[in-house]
Structure 1
Amino acid sequence: MGNDNDVISSSDETPAGEQTQRDLEMYTPKPSTAQRVASILSIACAGAALISDGYQNSLMTMINVLFGIEYKEQYTSTVSTRVSNALLIGEIFGQIVIGLTCDYMGRKTALVVTTLLIVVGGILATAASGTTVDGMFWMLVVARGVVGFGTGGEYPASSTAASEAANETALTQRGPIFVMVTNLPLSFGGPFAISVFLIVLSAAGSNHLSTVWRVCFGIGCIWPLSVFYFRYKMATSYLYKKGAIKKNVPYKLVLKYYWKSLIGTCGAWFLYDFVTFPNGVFSGTIIASIVPNSATNLFKTAEWQLLLGAIALPGVFLGAYLCHLIGRRATMMVGFSGYLIFGLIIGCAFSQLSKIMPLFVVFYGLMLSMGNLGPGDMVGLLSTESYATAVRGTCYGLSAAVGKAGAAVGTQCFKPIQANLGKNWTFIIAAICGIAGVLVTYFFIPPVSGEDLRIQDAKFEEYLLNNGWTGLLGTKELEDEANDVVTNIELAKTSGSD
């Protein structure tokens, strides 16, 4: 399917994979003001509700501490891990299923579904109850799983929509824009969740802890609801209209073409989440084990946790700046190197640093900030830029799902490592993951330079055609638009002859 205004025109003399940016600009009509506004709105809508994802991911940091106080006998290490992993397991399924959905059915459809799931899961978590405390925790596991399916689906749906819209609106700044609407809201969700926790705890008091955690879960429903209407009305990107494969997706050819990139994005995401997620979820318990009288002083633990989250934020902005200055791959390797440096400092000097709380929190925050600077910013960006539009959601979702599998493994191993090897070893292992992350990035991540995503689409289409694929690219919506253009031209010619 195509016309004279298609993104790329392939010929024997000039293969599609070799088209230059000048060719793209020549053959593609400039977007109108209305189209630019629609793209900007799509970027905002795609990223806005990711604050709720960061909020949901970070909420258990202090809730774990609260449950340990309120339900000391019932909230064992096994139950704590089960409740924390419920979100992760849901996210893994959500990332895979919604990743496929947003390629087949469109980005908007996927975003609407994920928004509804987060709201329904949040309501169930708020109302969690049972004939026993154990029963209540099992209901919470189910509710958090539903939330996880929604938040997991947000990753491929929101990120692909934001990247494609940014490609049409601000190509040269696509990388920083993508980071600002994806990793920034996710990272901001941490200190935001702690701030909400402190406010609710101050209002309800430490004698009403059940009210505190229920209200905190309920507040998580507000953010996705606030952008639901705009997501429902958001426009479909031209990239998706032009490059989607609605049926007969050649997955064997996809795997053959992208196997190396998949090892890179999946591997890097696994290592990043293996370190970051358990350190986020259980950082509250680490700090609580150091803070004097933490069992009765939730405020003090939460305040230190808020400082930790705040120190981790600057890395997001620095990574967004560096991705153009030194490149995507180099920025990610710098971030993984930070795990090595600060992980070894904290791990080797843990007994000394734990006696100086401000210094411990600063080093801990710097380690997490380096994670945001490198893989936190870049792995999502590279997972959208390394794959063609037709399979971008699928490959992104698979990469993110492998990452969340790493998070689940890390969460499962975190407390046993502390119990058997000591708290310092969680940081030493983070340093080892930093080395592995640098190697995976160097050998498997493609040298993406921020070029127009249409170039990637053209190369992929050429590869499919050269390997005997006979399917169709594009959506019926684009075909209808092309037919409308032809009809208008014919009408204009007819009226002119009259």
Structure 2
Amino acid sequence: MSLKERIRSVSLIFACGTALFSDGYANGVIGSVNTLLNRVYGIAALKSHNYSTILSSLGFAGTVVGMLLFGYLSDKVGRKFGMMSATVIVALFSGLSAASSGAHGSIGGLLSMLSAMRFLLGIGVGAEYPCGSVSASEQSEEPGISKRAQHRWFALATNTMIDFGFVIAAFVPLVLYWIFGNNHLRAVWRLSLGLGVIPAVAVFIWRLSMDEPIRYKKDSMKRARIPYLLIIRRYGVSLAAISFTWFLYDIIVYPFGLYSSIILDRITGGSKDLTVVFGWNVVINLFYMPGTLIGAFVLDYLGPKYTMITGLLLQAIIGFFMSGFYTQLSHHIAGFAVVYGIFLSFGEFGPGNCLGLLASKSSPTAVRGQFYGAAAAIGKVGAFVGTWMFPPIIDAFGGSETVRGNTGPFWIGSGLAVLSALITFCFIRPLTQDGMVKEDREFRAYLEAHGYDTSQMGLGEDSFDSDDVIVEDEKNAVVVSEDEKKQSV
């Protein structure tokens, strides 16, 4: 296979997964926007409308709805339909978020519209997980992709894009503030939200010429009844284990975003200068990148299961270290920020890179979107639970003014990381290269053994048999059918 064809194969993985950049951007930019809204309209005005609680609740709710709804649509209507719909939703409601306003200049109306638009935007963001990520995983095993890089390209096209979205989301408000200054903060927050339209539109155009992945064409149940009971019997334990580890991961990673504001406050000495606050926010978000990049290149050597366990255990060790030496680190805040950054990096090295991969490739093509959507949605519930759970935990440990109160979340978070590693070791099976082909073949055999008619599976568009195996070496990519394999034996 030529270099041009190999590059095209890799570009298709990124066409599927890169829209998750919008997830990172949308989730990351709202923190800076809230800081700006506080400056423009006043903290008291936002509190009187319970804005912060409503916004975070609606954002999570929209994402969960998108994951579950489009998980089903991804399987029953098509991967491309799901991906194109997701980018349209993200582009439309990013623009409308930026245009939020209230009747007669009402602040309450503005905040209500912004919250509603964030809910609808969340649906589009949530849709990208079971549509874009699932398609990226299927593209990663198509001809032209080296067996030694299948997992790597998936991680780079999905989780790395999310983390890069966080970095850009921190950088954009800073640049806009440099341009517009302190007297035009309305322009800064509106443009920060509105610029989210650009990557969504760019990905929409990129995806126009895409086709459904080969795996979907061959083994989907778009035209067949889905035997959910048989599927739960075969994949229920795996789904429960992946969902629970995702739940635990999001309990850890989302609330710990709260600590970035504490670190920023101490580094800057409580500075209210937005250049200082936004600048350090960029630095904090940059800590995600080393973990996801290094982890992507480790994935194909250790495998997703053991890469995830490694990342979780190293994250736990750093968390316990921060808890035990909190007093010493708190007197050297730059050192504390670096150790905290390493803590975040190991989260991306392990579960950040691996959970989507495990959710995608532990299930058959027929229900991959729903499997992934359910696991990701349960993870989002973990993020919601963690966001509400950690402030009371801090208070129960003695409050944020005490050493014990500040170290409590690190002890608990590290303990949850160890628990997640144990669940991964005991209940999640390792993945292999080209494992989707094998899984789909075994799934068909399982269904047939239980009396299910598999003749309606697939789209009938493929040019080779549904049990074909893609075999690739360094120079060629060929298709070997079951009959040819038997003859060779």
The answer to whether the superposition gives a TM-score over 0.5 is: yes
The SS at the match of 1:410 is: helix
Q: Does 1:48 align with 2:8?
A: no
- 1:370-407 Cα offsets, whole Å, 9 max, x none, are 00000000111111111111111110111111111111
Distance in 2 (alpha carbons) for counterparts of 1:455 and 1:227 = 31
The SS at the match of 1:448 is: coil
Deviation at 1:413, TM superposition (A): 2.3
Q: Sequence identity, in percent? A: 32
Q: Does 1:90 align with 2:56?
A: no
The residue type paired with residue 152 of structure 1 is: G
Distance in 2 (alpha carbons) for counterparts of 1:92 and 1:194 = 24
- 1:59-103 Cα offsets, whole Å, 9 max, x none, are 123233333444211333953232123222111111111111111
CA contact (8 A) 1:42 1:235 kept: no
Q: Give TM-score, length-normalised by structure 2.
A: 0.86
CA contact (8 A) 2:218 2:460 kept: no
Q: Which residue of 1 aligns with 2:28?
A: 58
Q: Which residue of 2 aligns with 1:383?
A: 359
Distance in 1 (alpha carbons) for counterparts of 2:185 and 2:396 = 31
1:6-405 to structure 2, matched below 5 A, reads 39-70=9-40, 71-76=42-47, 78-131=50-103, 132-168=106-142, 169-172=144-147, 173-246=149-222, 247-280=224-257, 282-292=258-268, 294=270, 296-405=272-381
After superposition, the Cα gap between the structure-2 partners of 1:312 and 1:256, relative to the gap in structure 1 and judged at 3 Å, is: same
Q: Which residue of 2 aligns with 1:26?
A: none
Distance in 1 (alpha carbons) for counterparts of 2:278 and 2:56 = 18
Computed over aligned residues only, the root mean square deviation of the Cα atoms, in angstroms, reads 2.3
- 1:391-431 Cα offsets, whole Å, 9 max, x none, are 11110111111111111111222333345543433322211
The SS at the match of 1:449 is: coil
CA contact (8 A) 1:38 1:234 kept: no
Q: Which residue of 1 aligns with 2:437?
A: 454
Q: Give TM-score, length-normalised by structure 1.
A: 0.85
Distance in 2 (alpha carbons) for counterparts of 1:466 and 1:214 = 58
Deviation at 1:180, TM superposition (A): 0.7
After superposition, the Cα gap between the structure-2 partners of 1:81 and 1:225, relative to the gap in structure 1 and judged at 3 Å, is: same
Distance in 2 (alpha carbons) for counterparts of 1:158 and 1:165 = 10
Distance in 2 (alpha carbons) for counterparts of 1:144 and 1:225 = 18
CA contact (8 A) 1:307 1:361 kept: no
Distance in 1 (alpha carbons) for counterparts of 2:310 and 2:170 = 28
Unaligned runs of 5+ in 2: 401-405, 466-489
- Correspondent of 1:427 among 398, 410, 413: 410
The SS at the match of 2:44 is: coil
Distance in 2 (alpha carbons) for counterparts of 1:34 and 1:242 = 25
Distance in 2 (alpha carbons) for counterparts of 1:386 and 1:186 = 22
Deviation at 1:167, TM superposition (A): 0.3
Q: Does 1:445 align with 2:428?
A: yes
Q: Which moved more, 1:350-359 or 1:434-443?
A: 350-359
CA contact (8 A) 1:95 1:398 kept: yes
Q: Which moved more, 1:407-416 or 1:365-374?
A: 407-416
Deviation at 1:283, TM superposition (A): 4.2
Deviation at 1:48, TM superposition (A): 2.3
The residue type paired with residue 328 of structure 1 is: P
CA contact (8 A) 2:271 2:277 kept: no
After superposition, the Cα gap between the structure-2 partners of 1:61 and 1:414, relative to the gap in structure 1 and judged at 3 Å, is: farther
Deviation at 1:361, TM superposition (A): 1.3
Deviation at 1:159, TM superposition (A): 1.1
- Alignment: residue pair count: 451
After superposition, the Cα gap between the structure-2 partners of 1:199 and 1:477, relative to the gap in structure 1 and judged at 3 Å, is: farther
Unaligned runs of 5+ in 1: 1-30, 483-498
The residue type paired with residue 435 of structure 1 is: V
CA contact (8 A) 2:150 2:300 kept: no
After superposition, the Cα gap between the structure-2 partners of 1:261 and 1:481, relative to the gap in structure 1 and judged at 3 Å, is: closer
The residue type paired with residue 110 of structure 1 is: G
After superposition, the Cα gap between the structure-2 partners of 1:328 and 1:41, relative to the gap in structure 1 and judged at 3 Å, is: closer
The SS at the match of 2:46 is: coil
Q: Which moved more, 1:82-91 or 1:383-392?
A: 82-91
- 1:205-245 Cα offsets, whole Å, 9 max, x none, are 12332221111000111101012122122021211110001
